[in-house]
Amino acid sequence: MPQSQRFFDLFEEDAKNLVAGSKQLRDMLDHYEQAPRLVKKLESYEHEGDRITHDLFAELNKTFVTPLDREDIQALASGMDTIMDQIEAAADTMVLYGVEAPTEQAKLLADIIIDSAAQIFQAIQLLRGHHNLREILVNCVEINRLENEADEVRRQVLAALFREEPDVIKIIKWKEIYELLEGATDACEDVADVLQGIVLKNA
């Protein structure tokens, strides 16, 4: 039975949506005076990601022979869904908590998320052919480096926050926001681990 190419179409669509969603987060931070409206736009990307994830699982349920191991398809779909959920949650939390303005560290973390999403998109595009699978490992290494960078940003900014911010409420708000942003890069690293496993099985 022929292997369905529909999975690769959906994965690429999902990764492209992920890049767009991460850029929308940065746009919200750059135009924070419009945050309530821009968060709604970001939510549309999150809903689109949910739709693609649903389609991937539906395709998996009706396909007997899959181009990748079924557990890898599930993990990849779930992983990208988690990234988008983290991005949307971070943006929504900022508006919900009435944050007056984004910090430079929040913008830096958003940039790292964009770079990580771009690496995932590049790697996903290489899945289809099976000829250049080992090139995906380069993307995986970069995603891991970016996650380490984000983790260091989070640790430094939280240390400064607890040391310098007298307002306990602000500390609570920003601690959660920073952890959501850094959590998105953690989820990117989880996707990279799945991609690396696919390479090792199939290259």
Q: What is the 3-state secondary structure (H, E, C) of the chain?
A: CCCCCHHHHHHHHHHHHHHHHHHHHHHHHHCHHHHHHHHHHHHHHHHHHHHHHHHHHHHHHHCCCCCCCHHHHHHHHHHHHHHHHHHHHHHHHHHHCCCCCCCHHHHHHHHHHHHHHHHHHHHHHHHCCCCCHHHHHHHHHHHHHHHHHHHHHHHHHHHHHHHHCCCHHHHHHHHHHHHHHHHHHHHHHHHHHHHHHHHHHHC
Task: Name the percent of the chain lying above pLDDT 90.
Answer: 88
Residue 28 has pLDDT above 80, yes or no: yes
Q: What is the mean pLDDT of residues 167-177?
A: 96
pLDDT digits (tens, 9 = 90+) for 110-152: 999 999 999 999 999 999 877 788 899 999 999 999 999 999 9
pTM over 0.85: yes
86 falls in which pLDDT band (50, 70, 90)? very high
Regarding predicted confidence, which is higher, 4 or 68? 68
pLDDT of residue 198: 93
Map out the domains of the chain with their CATH numbers: 6-202 (1.20.58.220)
